[in-house]
Amino acid sequence: MQTPATTPAATTSREGRYWPAPAWWDAQPPEPAVPLAHYLFVFRRYFWKMAAFVGATSLLTLIICYRLTPIYESTATVDIDRSAPPGILGQEALQPTIQDAEQYLATQVDLIQSDSVLRPVVMKFRLFEREGEMEEAGGRQAFDPSAPVRLKNLRVRRPPNTYLLKISYRSRDRQLAADVANAIAQSYLEHTYRIRYQAAAGLASFMERQIEELRAKMERSGDALARFERELNIINPEEKTNILSARLLELNTEYTRAQADRVIKEAAWKALAAASPEAAHTFSQREALERLTADLNAAEQRFAEVKAHYGPNHPEHQVAAAKLAEVRRQIEATSRSIAERAEIEYRTALDRERMFEQELKLAKAELDKLNARSFEYQALKREAEGDKRLYEELLRKIKEATINASFQNTGARIADPALPGKKPVFPRKGLSVLVAFVLAALLAVGGAVTMDHLDNTVRDPEQVERTMNTHVLGTLPRVKSWKGRLAPATGGNGQNGDVGLASYGEAIRTLRNAILLADFERGIRSLLVTSATPGEGKSTTAFFLALAHAAQGHRTLLIDGDLRRPSLHRRLDLPGLRGLAHVLAGELTWNEATVAAPAQPNLDILPAGHAPHRAADMVGRRLAQVIEEAARSYDLVILDGPPLLGFAEPLQMATAVDGVLIVTRAGDTSRKAVATVIATLERLRARVVGLVLNEVHRQTGDGYYYYGYYRKYYRYRDAQQA
């Protein structure tokens, strides 16, 4: 018996020496990314299903579009003039341009969709009686006059960077759509004018009520001002105040002058009262006094001369003395006269000063009194004038409001009235079909990718190598003509005209070369063909593999190791009473149980035989001895074993052969089951040579397309032979 073969976990030589695998073998390789080519395969795999789904969806959409009632849309354009004043008189005519245009236009959009604008249109065209026109669920319903009106078919939008409002309405009737859109635009203009007129009328009414009160107040203030003027006995207190102010200024000037004159004369009088000769010379009569003084000097000089020549009794002496005395007397009299005159002038100046002082006090008192009354007068005058101005302004405002209210300018106008639509806007058949096509295509692609991800079966070699880190040695196409039976031996060469069987034979030969010509450390002399679950096609694969090997002139032994459910003897019409079960029981030798395959030289068959109920217990060391002995006589021993999952004997068979070939059914075998089988064989250090994908077809993998070349080749060959 041969030793276990090399596995990824360990290495065992023919001499039985065992080397444990290095540490890097235990490391799990990173999960490889899914290549883009795989998605292309998924697309090809589900192409017809996807095409059918997309086509059906597009066709259904087209049918629905033709069955739907066409909807027409009409649009009226309203131009919002930001520069137009709302009035022609007063402040409204000078009202500046609206600064925040965005908020203003948004307000107008909401105003168009308000109940006050829509209700007249709904009542005019009786839209509440038209099915689907009102925004009510369930079609026709009773119209509630108290509920706000909303039209579901109305759409108001503002094109970017413009001052236009687009009022669009949809209806089954194209003319109705245009009429309703124009009616809504007109209703909006009328409603805007109406609310402005109502506001102006309300303001005018309010001002008219206020003007009566203001008129009465103006009359009262005017009467109070007139009474005050009569009490003052003047027409204008301001003029009287100006006169008094000028007089007071004049009196103050005169008083100041009188006071200065009195001071001067008082000083002169006091100086003369002190008998100061010098003071007398400063007075107004100083010229006469100066003459007398000159005469006095002359008289004294004459008297001195006379006195020097004559005696006291001389007449000249007496005349000179008398003249001198007379001059002195005159000087004294003049001095006294000057002093008296100075006193008189002082007294006069003092009286004059006192008089001006008294007049100044009286004038000032009168001015103060007049000023005090003037404040009251000014207050009454301002009140009267204010009431009059307010009355006149309010009267002017009433006239302006009345005129502006009649001026129908809301800053909005219909720039482009709605016209009946030529083509319906719903349904748009081309766009709807295109959208349905795109969405269906996206859903189909998404569904295909989802189904591919949810599909846990083995499908193509690339997937197996990517997900299970093992090799696929070959793929076998599906042959529809078999229908679950083995084909005759000649079919493997394609001689019977069955092109499918011919391509299958080519795939078997490719698999044989992939197994026997691989660069293994030692050749394959014995091979176990098994599967994860029943029905994978392992028996068919084992038979055709043995047939292909024998066709090359190599002696080949095919052993039916499925003791529970043998099938080779029935499919080849061989006697199945004696076989492997009897050999394992020791009743026969394997040479005695071996039979030659019908019409197939170099191929012998060891049937399973009639196995007892405890067939699994019979597989053991005896089977390994049989395989080892047969390997000495045959170039290749192929053991058709039972499925690995759920059965015990395949595990013992795997350790008795040089290699294990796992057959899987493309699109049917679970990847989890195959991974479990591979992991179990690796733990047993069995040599897994690879996997075979059986019954590969168009829906399972890219390998199917290669067999199309075989079909063309054999058809061409058959045509040439014919």
* pLDDT (average), residues 61-74: 91
Q: What is the CA radius of gyration of the chain?
A: 70
Query: How does pLDDT run across 38-56, given as a tens digit for each residue?
Result: 677 778 778 888 899 999 9
Q: Name the pairing type of β-strands 603-606 and 595-596.
A: antiparallel
Domains of the chain by residue range: 47-68+427-452, 237-404, 455-721
Q: Name the pairing type of β-strands 659-665 and 688-696.
A: parallel
Strands (DSSP E) found in 586-687: 595-596, 603-606, 636-640, 659-665
Distance CA 550, CA 661 (A): 18
Tokens for 327, please give them.
């001059």
DSSP assignment of 530-577 equals EESSTTSSHHHHHHHHHHHHHHTT--EEEEE--SSS--HHHHTT---S
What is the pLDDT, as a whole number, of residue 564?
A: 79
What is the pLDDT, as a whole number, of residue 24?
A: 33
- Long-range contacts made by residues 133-140, C-beta under 8 angstroms, separation at least 24? 133/171
Distance CA 461, CA 455 (A): 15
Distance CA 554, CA 525 (A): 12
Q: What is the CATH number of domain 455-721?
A: 3.40.50.300
Strands (DSSP E) found in 30-174: 72-80, 154-157, 164-171
Q: Name the pairing type of β-strands 526-531 and 636-640.
A: parallel
Quote the mean pLDDT of the chain: 76
Assign 179 a pLDDT band (cuts: 50, 70, 90): very high
* pLDDT (average), residues 622-630: 88
* pLDDT (average), residues 372-377: 65
Distance CA 326, CA 317 (A): 14
- With H, G, I as helix, E, B as strand and everything else as coil, classify residue 646: coil
Query: How does pLDDT run across 117-142, given as a tens digit for each residue?
Result: 999 998 888 887 774 544 443 444 55
Tokens for 696, please give them.
């590969």
Give the count of beta carbons closer than 10 Å to the beta carbon of residue 400: 19
Q: Of 365, 382, 386, 366, nearest to 232 (Cα)?
A: 366
- With H, G, I as helix, E, B as strand and everything else as coil, classify residue 323: helix
Query: How does pLDDT run across 222-280, given as a tens digit for each residue?
Result: 777 677 666 665 545 556 566 767 777 887 888 888 888 888 877 777 776 665 555 55
Assign 281 a pLDDT band (cuts: 50, 70, 90): low
What is the pLDDT, as a whole number, of residue 236?
A: 55
Query: How does pLDDT run across 631-681, given as a tens digit for each residue?
Result: 999 999 999 988 988 788 888 889 889 899 999 988 888 888 888 888 888
Distance CA 438, CA 499 (A): 40
| 93 or 424, greater pLDDT | 424
Strands (DSSP E) found in 407-454: 412-416
* pLDDT (average), residues 321-344: 78
What is the pLDDT, as a whole number, of residue 17?
A: 37
Percentage of the chain modeled with pLDDT above 90: 16
461-468 vs 36-45: helix crossing angle, rounded to 10: 130
Distance CA 670, CA 199 (A): 82
Strands (DSSP E) found in 436-494: 472-477
What is the pLDDT, as a whole number, of residue 213?
A: 76
Residue 25 has pLDDT above 60, yes or no: no
Assign 155 a pLDDT band (cuts: 50, 70, 90): very high
By CB neighbour count within 10 A (0-12 exposed, 13-18 middle, 19+ buried), where does 311 fall? Answer: exposed
What is the pLDDT, as a whole number, of residue 557?
A: 92
Assign 192 a pLDDT band (cuts: 50, 70, 90): confident
Residue 160 has pLDDT above 80, yes or no: yes
- The Cα-based distances of 665 to 485, 536, 641, 657, 674 in angstroms read 16, 5, 16, 23, 10
Query: How does pLDDT run across 575-592, given as a tens digit for each residue?
Result: 767 888 888 888 888 888
| DSSP 8-state code for residue 86 | S
What is the pLDDT, as a whole number, of residue 53?
A: 92
Distance CA 698, CA 703 (A): 8
| DSSP 8-state code for residue 477 | E
